[in-house]
């Protein structure tokens, strides 16, 4: 595990997402998002995965920060070239 705090949690109902970070975790995640944004601006379709150690990764912290929340072990971030997002590319 990297030496930063970065967790994603939901409330008990799964209706809200909470992101917990220390300064190093914020810097790490911001850098990752900017890299995805640069690829999307170049008309690519980037995505990245972030996992806890229990799920085979080291990008997310494993210690839950809220007693009532639920820790998320896998976060997948997509970058789309337009505001339409993935809708033009989905197979419905």
Say if residue 77's pLDDT is above 80.
yes
Which DSSP helix (H) or strand (E) runs through 36? helix 23-41
Please state, in angstroms and rounded to a whole number, the distance separating the CA atoms of residues 92 and 19: 31
φ, ψ at 7 (rounded to 5°): -130, 150
For the chain, percent of residues with pLDDT exceeding 90: 89
Q: b/e string for 31-69 if b means 16 or more Cβ within 10 A?
A: eeeeebeebbeeeeebeeebbbeeeebebbbeeeeeeeb
Please state, in angstroms and rounded to a whole number, the distance separating the CA atoms of residues 90 and 70: 29
**At 76, is the pLDDT very low, low, confident or very high (cuts 50, 70, 90)?**
very high
pTM value surpassing 0.85:
yes
| pLDDT of the residue at 92 | 45
Arithmetic mean of pLDDT, 16-34: 98
Say if residue 25's pLDDT is above 50.
yes
| pLDDT of the residue at 2 | 73
């Amino acid at each position: 595990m990297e030496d930063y705090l970065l967790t994603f949690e939901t409330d008990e109902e799964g209706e809200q997402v909470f992101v917990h970070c220390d300064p190093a975790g914020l810097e790490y995640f911001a850098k990752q998002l900017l890299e995805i944004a640069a690829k999307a601006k170049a008309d690519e379709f980037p995505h990245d995965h972030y996992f806890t150690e229990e799920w085979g990764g080291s990008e997310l912290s494993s210690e839950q920060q809220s007693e009532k929340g639920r820790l998320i072990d896998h976060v997948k971030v997509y970058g789309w070239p337009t505001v339409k997002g993935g809708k033009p590319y989905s197979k419905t």
